[in-house]
Amino acid sequence: MVKDIRQVIQDGENSLVEFKTPDVSPQSLAEEISAFANVRGGEIFIGVSDDGRVTGIDKARIKNPEEYTIYFED
């Protein structure tokens, strides 16, 4: 069953869901990706604060949006 993104955000962070603000450091993001890749996978939402508030990403910072969509599957 595929959950709606709004529902995933409303449910909050857990062992398979992580929220990151747009100013996340590359090191921190790499560590999170590595942790998910070494376990069961997961979803990282950039542009969502820890409290589930959608902050978005400044469009001027994104040069190629396709490069920012990464899916990991079991």
Taking only the tens place, the pLDDT of each residue in 11-56 is 999 999 999 998 899 899 999 999 999 988 899 999 999 999 998 8
C-alpha distances (whole Å) from 32 to each of 1, 15, 59 are: 24, 11, 23
How do the domains of the chain map onto residue ranges? Answer: 5-68
CB atoms within 10 A of CB 19: 22
Question: Can you give the pLDDT at residue 72?
Answer: 43
User: What confidence tier does 68 reach under pLDDT thresholds 50, 70, 90?
Assistant: low
More confident residue, 72 or 40: 40
Distance between CA atoms of residues 21 and 56, nearest Å: 8
* Backbone torsion region of residue 52, taken as left when φ is above 0, otherwise alpha when ψ lies between -120 and 50, otherwise beta: left
